[in-house]
Structure 1
Amino acid sequence: MTGATDAPPDEQSAQGFVLGPAASVEDGQARGFPGPDGRKIIVVRRNGRLFGWIDSCPHFEGGTPMAWKTDAYLDGTGQYLACHSHGALFDIETGACVLGACLGKSLTPARLYVSQDHQIRLESGQTSREIER
């Protein structure tokens, strides 16, 4: 699996905060999962790969949640993550703002892996990682 961590099951439990089942995010879909600090983690599946981002638009100081309703993170075309507060669009794979007031800024990545029990888990650290199921 590209970019995935293959830790033994006992290490996976100790190292990764469980976000939810990998099967709960279908291709072309984005979902928000509660993170360990109370902020949501956006998980997007594109072409079989998962991408993780903190649900916080960089346009406002301190960030702001991006969805206008539960799991409404994608724009109308499904090609970009969208901040529905002010219309900014973000590249799903890089998190870079491609349109809007936050050009030059990016979403904060959440490092993910899928464990042997098929759960999406959050690793410590803040480096973007894409993974395959």
Structure 2
Amino acid sequence: MAERVLCTLEDIPDGNSRGFPAAPGAFTGLFAVRRGHQVWVYVNSCPHIGVPLDPVPDRFLDTRKQNIVCSTHGARFRIEDGICTSGPCYGEALERVHARIDEDGRVLVPEDAGL
């Protein structure tokens, strides 16, 4: 599977999130949430109506940094699996993107992520 570098682990502050614009040829950007040495990456699109989740760049988490939040409808999603736990898309999930961290600390995602 062809991969591309999304960022380095240090580019995402621990306990926070960061958005990334769509890659060339992709339709939708991605975002990542970091907790220690774990990173979860999702397509930046609410399953309810497809709008981007962040109201301002890199703001994907609630104030307690416990859940991902859609700025349009207030839907809340678990960081670990993207499942909506409250809001108009309850029970649906964000589109997860396989990500791995290589030995150089780079976060890698499939080349076609976001297509």
What is the TM-score with the length of structure 2 in the denominator?
0.87
Paired residue for 2:34, among 45, 59, 66? 45
Q: CA RMSD in A?
A: 1.9
Paired residue for 1:121, among 101, 105, 108? 108
Q: Identity over the aligned pairs, expressed in percent?
A: 32
Does residue 79 of the first structure (1) align with residue 72 of the second (2)?
Answer: no
What is the TM-score with the length of structure 1 in the denominator?
0.76
Q: Cα deviation per residue 1:13-37 (whole Å; 9 max; x = unaligned)?
A: x821111111111221100112431
Deviation of the 1:125 alpha carbon: 7.7
| 3-state DSSP of counterpart to 1:90 | strand
Distance in 1 of aligned mates of 2:10 and 2:109: 16
5+ residue gaps, structure 2, are: none
Corresponding residue of 2:46: 57
| 3-state DSSP of counterpart to 2:97 | coil
**Higher helix proportion, which one?**
1
5+ residue gaps, structure 1, are: 1-13, 127-133
The number of aligned residues is 111
Partner AA of 1:54 in structure 2: V
